[in-house]
Amino acid sequence: MATVTDMITSFDDFPIHQTSAPIAHAASGDPGHYDRYFYNGYSHDGALFFAIAMGLYPNRHVMDAAFSVVYKGEQISVHASARAPHDRLQCTKVGPIHVDVKVPLKLHTISVNSPEHGITAEVTFHAASLPFEEPPFLQRVGNRVTMDYTRLTQLGAWSGWIEIDGVRQNLTPDAHKGSRDRSWGIRNVGERVQLGAPIPQAPQFFWLWAPVCFDGFGTMFDLNEYADGQRWHESGAMLIGADTIKNSHKLEYQYTWEPGTRRAEAFDLTYEFADTSSHLHFEPLVHFQMLGLGYLHPEWGHGFHKGDLAVGGERFTVPVPDPLAMHHLHTQTVSRVTCQNSDGTTHEGIGVLETLVIGAHAPSGFVGMDDGYRL
């Protein structure tokens, strides 16, 4: 059993403390406290898409990671879960998956060594923009805080290689773009914990997130809405080069739902800035199932305790035949994106549209937990 002195770890030797407690102690005792890396990458034609997630849940003493790739109509994933060490310096490797922050906010390398599940990789993310800090996420159900976290998003490019069933795919920064995020705080993760009297409120969550890469610049968008369409969180910006962030004054979107699903057939987004505006049109190429990274996964869900170390894999065809299954509602849709600016210029780019819609959303015509769109 750990004693008080066991909580002093390597990071306590640096001037980074935000509370009087050692770094090993989270500021909150909430079981949903977490700290996560996320990355995605894609070729210009959408033929290859991959993503990585790694999370630490200090109050649960759990950490987990996953690497998932879509290639030739198949999504292949590796999952890992482990008991988390107290020293945060040791919390960037889970089984066969390792995140190495070479240069903070600029250069990260991710390695995967799981040939028994069909994947080995060594890929490096090269940041191409400043990190964009999204507004804080804060949500309550009754008196309980269910969401309280900060996240940054950054655009970039990839180098390195991925081997899928022994066949190597080489990545180059000019041909493989992507994005990453870092988030930390409180979120619903792990096995459910009874916290007193239940609150009679139907589950509802409407979430859109869309980082897009163009030559020399990129765009960032996220939005949450209540069931009636009222927005409770939104942000948007143009990320120009490696040193400029231009925040949007107003955002409007039009989501074209694929009939019988809760995923995109098309998507349009308009940013209004102080003196210009930009209209983006998304044409979907590939639907990536976030299940492959543990999101809504019935077995490899985030923060689940699976022992000192557990590693597993799975593969399935995409698009999935049952898109309204609860574990398939969360998607990232790789999209070809056209940007038309008010100054008359047009740019072609590629990015993702992440969608998670659980429960009712009146503007979309959704009334149940997981009913599909009807024309």
| CA-based nearest residue to 63, from 40, 90, 39 | 90
pLDDT tens track for 36-70:
999 999 999 999 999 999 999 999 999 999 999 99
pLDDT of amino acid 201: 79
Give the SS3 label for residue 116. Answer: helix
Distance CA 257, CA 332 (A): 14
Amino acid at 232: W
Residue 359 in contact with residue 201, Cβ under 8 Å? no
What confidence score (pLDDT) does residue 1 get? 46
Residue 12 located in a structural domain: no
Whether residue 3 is contained in a domain is answered as no
Neighbour-count burial for 356-372, b at 16+ CB within 10 Å, e otherwise: bbbbbbeebebeeeeeb
Helix, strand, or coil (residue 343): coil
**Mean pLDDT calculated for residue range 213-238:** 97
CB burial of residue 348 (10 Å; 0-12, 13-18, 19+):
exposed
> In this structure, is residue 253 part of a structural domain?
yes
373 falls within a domain:
no
pLDDT at 108: 98
- The Cα 216–Cα 242 span in angstroms is 9
Please answer whether residues 132 and 239 qualify as being in contact, where contact means their C-beta atoms are separated by less than 8 angstroms: yes
| pLDDT in the model for residue 142 | 85
pLDDT at position 7 is: 85
pLDDT for the residue 66: 98
Q: Residue 1 forms beta bridges with which residues? A: none
Domain with residue 350: its CATH number is 2.40.370.10
Render pLDDT for 247-302 as a digit per residue (tens, 0 to 9).
Answer: 999 999 999 999 999 999 999 999 999 999 999 999 999 999 999 999 999 999 99
Residue range(s) defining the domain that contains residue 242: 33-190+201-364
In percent, the amount of the chain with pLDDT more than 70 equals 99
**Two tokens, residue 77:** 């994933």
Task: Report whether 364 contacts 355 (CB < 8 A).
Answer: no
14 is a domain residue: no
> In the prediction, which pLDDT does 355 show?
98
Residue 143, Cβ density class (10 Å: 0-12 exposed, 13-18 middle, ≥19 buried):
exposed
**Centroid of chain to Cα 225:** 18
Average pLDDT, stretch 337-347?
A: 97
Supply angle C-alpha 108, 207, 231, rounded to 5: 125
What is the rounded distance in angstroms from the CA atom of residue 61 to the CA atom of residue 89? Answer: 15
**pLDDT, tens digit (0-9, with 9 covering 90-100), for 2-34:** 454 578 999 999 999 999 999 999 988 999 999
Interval 193-218 mean pLDDT:
90
Would you state the pLDDT for residue 34?
Answer: 96
Domain count, the chain: 1
Whole-number pLDDT of residue 199: 78
Q: Model confidence at 200, in pLDDT bands (50, 70, 90)?
A: confident
d(CA 63, CA 85): 9
**Any domain includes 5:** no
Contact indicator for 313, 117 with CB cutoff of 8 Å: yes
User: In this structure, is residue 6 part of a structural domain?
Assistant: no
Average pLDDT, the chain: 95
Read off the tokens for 46: 């959408």
Asked whether residue 21 is domain-assigned, the answer is no
Tell me, what's the pLDDT at 141? 86
pTM over 0.85? The answer is yes
pLDDT at residue 197, as a whole number: 85
Burial environment of residue 119 by CB neighbours within 10 A (0 to 12, 13 to 18, 19 or more): buried
β-strand pairing of 97-103 with 107-114: antiparallel
- DSSP H or E stretch at residue 16: none
